[in-house]
Amino acid sequence: MIVLASSYHYMQLPREVIVGKGAIARIPEVVQRLGLTGSAMIVAGQKSFEVAGKKVQDLLESNSISVSVVRVNTATIKDVTFVEEQIKAEKPSVLFGVGGGSKIDAAKLSSAERGIPYVSVPTTLSHDGIASPLASVKGLGKPYSVMVQAPLAIIADTEVIAMAPWRSVVSGCGDTISKFTAVRDWRLAQADKNEYYGEYAASLALMSARLVMRNAGLIQPGNEEGLRVLLEALISCGVAMSIAGSSRPCSGSEHLFSHALDLIDGGKAMHGEQCGVGAILAAYLHGGNWRRIRSTLREFNAPTSAIGLGVEDEDVVRALEMAASVRPERYTILHKLGLSREGCEKAAKNTGVIG
Ligand SMILES: [Zn+2]
């Protein structure tokens, strides 16, 4: 991890981003351009190795790069330690994280800890972690993501991503739409707490949310162009976080609601689905256009209620009530309002999130 004096603003950005049908086939030229020699390590799950990891391995090996493969199924501190031990033993010059959330998170943190770069090869579009410099790892004592390092390159093959369950795309849309309220919270923190606010990073996150909102008709099963829109929006969100130097442009009260719900029910719904519902609630609390967020989520067939998330009404109210305490230092509308239980219930009822 990189530590700089607080007077500096540090940005770490991806160097190469390749998006499109068959993008994985471009890996050898990317490796060559980046000057990566010696050996590589692939971190993948069983499924992600089958759909993409094996191809990455073959391409690297046919270009004289020796490859070792490490399988992980989750992103716990145990998984990260295991990958770190493999890095120590094999001494690869680069790590490839192939998969959805957990494999990329495990690759991200372990490579940062061992001081080597990692390349993100996403197989799903369920959230913006595929391109962000933050990792969410269980066992770190924090239910939210922490800053680690940005990917050196992102190779996103829409042919591979199209094979993932549609629900993961819906989740990615929810995560992107939730930037509307994340940025509002960030602005609020600047106004009330004089927190650093970066206009450029905020604009980038908002642009991603608008892009997805505008292209709802395109982001439909079987439409490769729609996947590309979402993919580029998620990558822009990752870059926004790199520029901000924190998750601020992409994570506000709606994310705190999602983290609280994870703590309450163990994460029954997907991250982006929960953040989408959180964004409806957060927009309502901000006095914003929560109906527009709700109607956009409906266009994607994303959940907009407790029933849609598969949770009890009571859990939604509890999550909203405890959300601010999940991260007391991240000032949001929830911290400003300090809602009572009744206030939380009223917000959830008025937005139709609970019956
Ligand atoms: Zn998110």
The alpha carbon of 38 and the centre of ligand 1 are apart by a number of angstroms equal to 35
* pLDDT tens digits for range 35-79: 998 999 999 999 999 999 999 999 999 999 999 999 998 888 999
Q: Is the pLDDT of residue 3 over 80?
A: no
The alpha carbon of 127 and the centre of ligand 1 are apart by a number of angstroms equal to 6
Q: Is the pLDDT of residue 247 over 70?
A: yes
The alpha carbon of 275 and the centre of ligand 1 are apart by a number of angstroms equal to 7
Report the alpha-carbon distance of residue 275 to residue 302 in Å, rounded: 11
The alpha carbon of 172 and the centre of ligand 1 are apart by a number of angstroms equal to 8
The region, left, alpha or beta by phi > 0 then psi within -120 to 50, assigned to residue 22 is: left
Taking alpha carbons only, the member of 71, 67, 58, 72 closest to residue 90 is: 67
The alpha carbon of 187 and the centre of ligand 1 are apart by a number of angstroms equal to 18
Q: Which amino acid is at 332?
A: T
* pLDDT tens digits for range 280-292: 999 999 999 999 9
The alpha carbon of 349 and the centre of ligand 1 are apart by a number of angstroms equal to 24
pLDDT at position 229: 96
* pLDDT tens digits for range 177-236: 999 999 999 999 999 999 999 999 999 999 999 999 999 999 999 999 999 999 999 999
The alpha carbon of 270 and the centre of ligand 1 are apart by a number of angstroms equal to 10
pLDDT at position 152: 97
Mean pLDDT of 113-136: 95
Q: Give pTM, 2 decimals.
A: 0.94
The confidence band for 115, taking pLDDT boundaries of 50, 70 and 90, is very high
Q: How many CB atoms lie within 10 A of CB 355?
A: 9
The alpha carbon of 61 and the centre of ligand 1 are apart by a number of angstroms equal to 35
* pLDDT tens digits for range 137-157: 888 778 888 889 999 999 999
Specify the pairing of strand 118-122 against strand 146-147. Answer: unpaired
* pLDDT tens digits for range 292-344: 999 999 999 999 999 999 999 999 999 999 999 999 999 999 999 999 999 99
The answer to whether 112 touches 148, Cβ cutoff 8 Å, is: yes
* pLDDT tens digits for range 157-169: 999 999 999 999 9
Q: Which residues contact 282 (CB under 8 A, 6 or more apart)?
A: 181, 184, 185, 252, 253, 254, 257, 332, 333, 334
pLDDT at position 101: 82
The alpha carbon of 251 and the centre of ligand 1 are apart by a number of angstroms equal to 6
pLDDT at position 102: 87
Report the alpha-carbon distance of residue 195 to residue 191 in Å, rounded: 8
Q: Is the pLDDT of residue 261 over 90?
A: yes
Q: Give per-residue burial for 85-117: e unless 16+ CB within 10 Å, then b.
A: ebbeeeebbbbbbbbbbbbbbbbbbbbbbbebb
Q: Which residues contact 297 (CB under 8 A, 6 or more apart)?
A: 173, 174, 177, 276, 277, 279, 280, 303, 304
pLDDT at position 328: 96
Q: Is the pLDDT of residue 6 over 70?
A: no
The burial class, CB within 10 Å (0-12 / 13-18 / 19+), for 205 is buried
The alpha carbon of 6 and the centre of ligand 1 are apart by a number of angstroms equal to 26
Q: Is 119 helix (H, G, I), strand (E, B) or coil?
A: strand
The alpha carbon of 44 and the centre of ligand 1 are apart by a number of angstroms equal to 21
The alpha carbon of 94 and the centre of ligand 1 are apart by a number of angstroms equal to 26
Q: Is the pLDDT of residue 5 over 90?
A: no
Angle 200-300-98 from CA coordinates, rounded to 5°: 65
Name the average pLDDT for the chain: 95
The alpha carbon of 236 and the centre of ligand 1 are apart by a number of angstroms equal to 13
The alpha carbon of 250 and the centre of ligand 1 are apart by a number of angstroms equal to 7
Report the alpha-carbon distance of residue 254 to residue 242 in Å, rounded: 20
The alpha carbon of 92 and the centre of ligand 1 are apart by a number of angstroms equal to 30
pLDDT at position 316: 98
The answer to whether 1 touches 147, Cβ cutoff 8 Å, is: yes
Q: Is 301 helix (H, G, I), strand (E, B) or coil?
A: coil
The alpha carbon of 105 and the centre of ligand 1 are apart by a number of angstroms equal to 13
pLDDT at position 146: 86
